[in-house]
A and B are shown apart, each in its own frame.
Chain A
């Protein structure tokens, strides 16, 4: 079949047939998007240097690169959020000036930002229609809601148009972002790590949506750190390294190992080594715990489990099945409505976050911007935030800036956080480097129990490998870890035991060496462990 298409170009040898076919079709179509020589500088950083991007109608381009390589910056230039210092942009062959997001929108460019662009206090529907140019003066919310319901049904993106954003889980918020793009009917879609917060199932569905859209002639640029997604989703790959374009490849002519090597500059282990070690006393014990969500409905019901020192308990489940509430009750951010929480054999039910921190609990939050960092404070201060109350960082009641800086330098180095200086405000870091900052602080402060929600979210392959190794090392050193994740491979690879949450209940806990994707998948869909074996 492929050969027959290629036959007019008889010179094509068969292994290159596909390649030739693409090349030849391209001569007749102009690229829908052509970015030439884009350079973007920030104080102390060159985020993009002379980068070219080409995108053809109906194609998906994957943009790869380590944390801080400049992927988001490049896309923000295209979406009108940043102004390039040099370079030209052509849309459908015509040179354009993109001065504002509104210009970009008019040109059919729509972007899902790495950090959600949603107004917390507003409803889903209000967020979706926000800023629409052709909105009537008095929008008819009944119509809008109807249209949203229709779209969410068609693309299987379940979300209630009337709920407020702050009531939604991060995964649900992501659905709103996707709906926003669909609602606007953008032609060039930019998705900045859209799958970072999705379950594998949801990611697959997103792939379906993308395919459907590209079939309709839309094109997409897609940023991800997950190699298998690059292979499954994209036609072309471009790799950035320290702001420069280093590789352009056709997806079907490369493989995950090669891509990882191109990005990180070394081979990446996708398998993890785990040593057998003895477990200590019970570090965390939940007895029949229940809690409500923000709407006052039950989110957790009768949860009971224990984690021993040195044990990693993974929590699997589809987003919105109580993970958020589970993490919050364990860190003092939400009260339980029933049951008992014991941490290191002391009752910590409904205690304040400070009391829980003082009893030796670290927390890697799911929402890194809202709960993980203070964006307007320096990276150094963010790193010191967990231990600034105690010596050596404090002396006679006063902070000791030199020691804070020392600590920061050490952590920046250890976790290879890409920041211009330790004094740079945290909000200026790339998404992955903000995550690394939180990890550095929490894993360092770790003194017994670590509550980790999606710790590898948004990290590049190298950093992901590093974090997983760190968690295993910590557990070998005697830390108890609760690892909430949607990445089943991560859970199976890192955790000792895996608990599956479904609608706020534990479907069962099984050792990770007995867990396979199929069994976990069934439990995540609401089948009890006992029933899976039957």
Chain B
């Protein structure tokens, strides 16, 4: 039994980590008032490019760097369209997802070695290995927490740091103000465009790491649609977290946990058709969103940044 819980926990953490990276990234982006629906495409693109980088160079570090670069670059396209061009953010984000998914599967067939006709599918490259922390990793049940790879350990820091930055620092204060009431923030001397660019791109980089986590740690290698819709779950997780980075952990654990249970059930050879099991995380997303919106209506005043998805120009009021 204990062994079962431990393994469930290990899977939960491993599949939750990429969700947490992307969720925290998107929370920062949305806190600045920019809605980025391009996450799915950005995660796919970072997953494929980071895996290709690692395969060819053997350097995991370069792989992560590539993921951040790709995530950041795609986010800056979105930033340019929605901040400078004041385009509709939903349309811009969706285009990025469509572009990213298509481009990622195209690159999956071109970035591989000659010997494999350019295909990346089926190749094995370097991956992040678990680092067991002496003693702690031997503890029953919670031992799994201390037997993870470096990307997951960083998540443990990312959550409290993300919360602290948003709620306790000057920059976090300015960021929240920009997403809540850009006109006021502007009048108080904050550069709205700068803040929005900064956090859209920063968010994109974190989303990129979330994508790389999939192809370098969670399911090493490249397969078509490796994200399995995680980019969309992230959008739900942001709402679930109430735009608070610290709460991203609960969502990720919940969804990661469902994932783990599903794995476990499949492995134990249940008679429930796999299709139903695969549906679980998405059904849970819908369920949680319904509960949350209902709950949110009751407790007014917690919720989305007021200026989310609204463009701002000074003389436009």
Chain A interface (Cβ < 8 Å from any Cβ of B):
42, 79, 81-83, 100-102, 105, 111, 113, 117-122, 126, 129-133, 135-139, 166, 375, 427-428
Query: In the complex, which residues of chain B have a beta carbon less than 8 angstroms from the beta carbon of A111?
Result: 187
Query: In the complex, which residues of chain B have a beta carbon less than 8 angstroms from the beta carbon of A119?
Result: 176-177, 180-181, 184-185
Please count how many residues in chain B sit with their CB below 8 Å of the partner chain's CB atoms. 24
State whether A82 touches B315 (Cβ < 8 A).
yes
Query: In the complex, which residues of chain A have a beta carbon less than 8 angstroms from the beta carbon of B180?
Result: 119-122
State whether A117 touches B184 (Cβ < 8 A).
yes
Task: Give the contacting residue for B173; candidates A113, A117, A129; CB below 8 A.
Answer: A129
State whether A131 touches B168 (Cβ < 8 A).
no
Is B117 on the interface with A (CB-CB < 8 A)?
A: no
Complex Cα gap A133–B189 (Å)? 8
| Shortest beta-carbon distance from B96 to chain A in Å | 26
Q: What 17 additional pairs, Cβ within 8 angstroms, besides A119-B184, A122-B176?
A: A79-B187, A81-B187, A81-B315, A83-B315, A102-B190, A102-B191, A113-B187, A117-B183, A119-B180, A120-B181, A121-B306, A122-B173, A129-B173, A130-B190, A131-B177, A137-B171, A139-B173
Complex Cα gap A166–B173 (Å)? 17
Question: Assuming the A-B contacts A119-B177, A138-B168, are A81 and B314 also in contact, with contact meaning beta carbons closer than 8 angstroms in the complex?
Answer: yes
Task: Give the contacting residue for A136; candidates B170, B190, B315; CB below 8 A.
Answer: B170
Q: Which of B284-317 contact A (CB under 8 A)?
A: 301, 306, 314-315, 317
Query: In the complex, which residues of chain A have a beta carbon less than 8 angstroms from the beta carbon of B171?
Result: 137
Task: Give the contacting residue for A131; candidates B189, B301, B314, B317; CB below 8 A.
Answer: B189
Give the most central of B168, B188, B306: most A CB within 10 Å. Answer: B188
| Shortest beta-carbon distance from A447 to chain B in Å | 30
State whether B177 touches A122 (Cβ < 8 A).
yes
Complex Cα gap A79–B177 (Å)? 19
Is B224 on the interface with A (CB-CB < 8 A)?
A: no
State whether B170 touches A139 (Cβ < 8 A).
yes
| Shortest beta-carbon distance from B184 to chain A in Å | 4
Question: Assuming the A-B contacts A119-B177, A120-B180, A122-B177, are A138 and B169 also in contact, with contact meaning beta carbons closer than 8 angstroms in the complex?
Answer: yes
State whether B306 touches A120 (Cβ < 8 A).
yes
The 10 closest A-B pairs by CB, nearest first: A131-B188, A102-B189, A117-B184, A131-B189, A117-B187, A131-B190, A119-B181, A130-B188, A135-B170, A427-B317
Complex Cα gap A117–B190 (Å)? 13
Some 14 contacts from A to B, beta carbons below 8 A apart, are A79-B187, A81-B186, A100-B189, A100-B191, A101-B188, A117-B181, A117-B184, A118-B184, A119-B185, A130-B174, A130-B188, A133-B189, A138-B169, A138-B170
| Shortest beta-carbon distance from B38 to chain A in Å | 26
Complex Cα gap A166–B189 (Å)? 22
| Shortest beta-carbon distance from A194 to chain B in Å | 15
Complex Cα gap A122–B306 (Å)? 12
Give the most central of B185, B189, B191: most A CB within 10 Å. Answer: B189
| Shortest beta-carbon distance from A129 to chain B in Å | 7
Complex Cα gap A81–B301 (Å)? 28
Complex Cα gap A79–B170 (Å)? 23
| Shortest beta-carbon distance from B309 to chain A in Å | 14
Complex Cα gap A113–B186 (Å)? 12
Query: In the complex, which residues of chain B have a beta carbon less than 8 angstroms from the beta carbon of A133?
Result: 189
Query: In the complex, which residues of chain A have a beta carbon less than 8 angstroms from the beta carbon of B191?
Result: 100, 102
Complex Cα gap A105–B174 (Å)? 16
State whether A131 touches B174 (Cβ < 8 A).
yes
Task: Give the contacting residue for A82; candidates B183, B190, B314; CB below 8 A.
Answer: B314
Query: In the complex, which residues of chain A have a beta carbon less than 8 angstroms from the beta carbon of B315?
Result: 42, 81-83
| Shortest beta-carbon distance from A527 to chain B in Å | 37
Give the most central of A111, A135, A136, A166: most B CB within 10 Å. Answer: A135
Complex Cα gap A126–B190 (Å)? 14
Query: In the complex, which residues of chain B have a beta carbon less than 8 angstroms from the beta carbon of A122?
Result: 173, 176-177, 180
Question: Assuming the A-B contacts A82-B315, A375-B317, are A130 and B306 also in contact, with contact meaning beta carbons closer than 8 angstroms in the complex?
Answer: no
- Nearest residue in A to B183 (C-beta to C-beta)? A117
Query: In the complex, which residues of chain A have a beta carbon less than 8 angstroms from the beta carbon of B176?
Result: 119, 122
- Nearest residue in B to A103 (C-beta to C-beta)? B189
Question: Assuming the A-B contacts A100-B189, A121-B301, are A428 and B317 also in contact, with contact meaning beta carbons closer than 8 angstroms in the complex?
Answer: yes
- Nearest residue in A to B315 (C-beta to C-beta)? A82
- Nearest residue in B to A128 (C-beta to C-beta)? B188
State whether A101 touches B177 (Cβ < 8 A).
no
Query: In the complex, which residues of chain B have a beta carbon less than 8 angstroms from the beta carbon of A136?
Result: 170
| Shortest beta-carbon distance from A499 to chain B in Å | 30
- Nearest residue in B to A135 (C-beta to C-beta)? B170
Query: In the complex, which residues of chain B have a beta carbon less than 8 angstroms from the beta carbon of A117?
Result: 181, 183-184, 187-188
Complex Cα gap A111–B168 (Å)? 27
State whether B301 touches A166 (Cβ < 8 A).
yes
Query: In the complex, which residues of chain A have a beta carbon less than 8 angstroms from the beta carbon of B174?
Result: 130-131
| Shortest beta-carbon distance from B56 to chain A in Å | 40
Question: Assuming the A-B contacts A82-B315, A117-B184, are A130 and B177 also in contact, with contact meaning beta carbons closer than 8 angstroms in the complex?
Answer: yes
Complex Cα gap A137–B191 (Å)? 17
State whether A130 touches B173 (Cβ < 8 A).
yes
| Shortest beta-carbon distance from A430 to chain B in Å | 11
Query: In the complex, which residues of chain A have a beta carbon less than 8 angstroms from the beta carbon of B168?
Result: 138
Complex Cα gap A122–B185 (Å)? 12
- Nearest residue in A to B167 (C-beta to C-beta)? A126
Complex Cα gap A126–B188 (Å)? 12
| Shortest beta-carbon distance from A335 to chain B in Å | 13
Q: Which of B191-230 contact A (CB under 8 A)?
A: 191
Query: In the complex, which residues of chain B have a beta carbon less than 8 angstroms from the beta carbon of A130?
Result: 173-174, 177, 184-185, 188, 190
Complex Cα gap A105–B173 (Å)? 19
| Shortest beta-carbon distance from A114 to chain B in Å | 12
- Nearest residue in B to A106 (C-beta to C-beta)? B189
Complex Cα gap A101–B188 (Å)? 7
State whether A101 touches B170 (Cβ < 8 A).
no
Complex Cα gap A136–B169 (Å)? 8
Complex Cα gap A82–B314 (Å)? 7
Complex Cα gap A396–B187 (Å)? 46
Query: In the complex, which residues of chain A have a beta carbon less than 8 angstroms from the beta carbon of B306?
Result: 120-121
Complex Cα gap A32–B181 (Å)? 32
| Shortest beta-carbon distance from B188 to chain A in Å | 3
| Shortest beta-carbon distance from A178 to chain B in Å | 15
Query: In the complex, which residues of chain A have a beta carbon less than 8 angstroms from the beta carbon of B185?
Result: 119, 130-131
Give the most central of A131, A136, A375: most B CB within 10 Å. Answer: A131
| Shortest beta-carbon distance from A435 to chain B in Å | 16
Complex Cα gap A129–B176 (Å)? 13
Query: In the complex, which residues of chain B have a beta carbon less than 8 angstroms from the beta carbon of A42?
Result: 315
Complex Cα gap A120–B180 (Å)? 8
Complex Cα gap A102–B187 (Å)? 8
Query: In the complex, which residues of chain B have a beta carbon less than 8 angstroms from the beta carbon of A135?
Result: 170
Query: In the complex, which residues of chain A have a beta carbon less than 8 angstroms from the beta carbon of B188?
Result: 101, 117, 130-131
- Nearest residue in A to B305 (C-beta to C-beta)? A121
Query: In the complex, which residues of chain B have a beta carbon less than 8 angstroms from the beta carbon of A427?
Result: 317
| Shortest beta-carbon distance from A33 to chain B in Å | 19
Query: In the complex, which residues of chain B have a beta carbon less than 8 angstroms from the beta carbon of A121?
Result: 180, 301, 306
0 or 1 for each of B46-82: is its CB under 8 Å from A? (1 = yes): 0000000000000000000000000000000000000
| Shortest beta-carbon distance from A183 to chain B in Å | 11
State whether A101 touches B186 (Cβ < 8 A).
yes
| Shortest beta-carbon distance from A530 to chain B in Å | 40
Query: In the complex, which residues of chain B have a beta carbon less than 8 angstroms from the beta carbon of A375?
Result: 317
Give the most central of A83, A101, A119: most B CB within 10 Å. Answer: A119
Query: In the complex, which residues of chain A have a beta carbon less than 8 angstroms from the beta carbon of B187?
Result: 79, 81, 101, 111, 113, 117
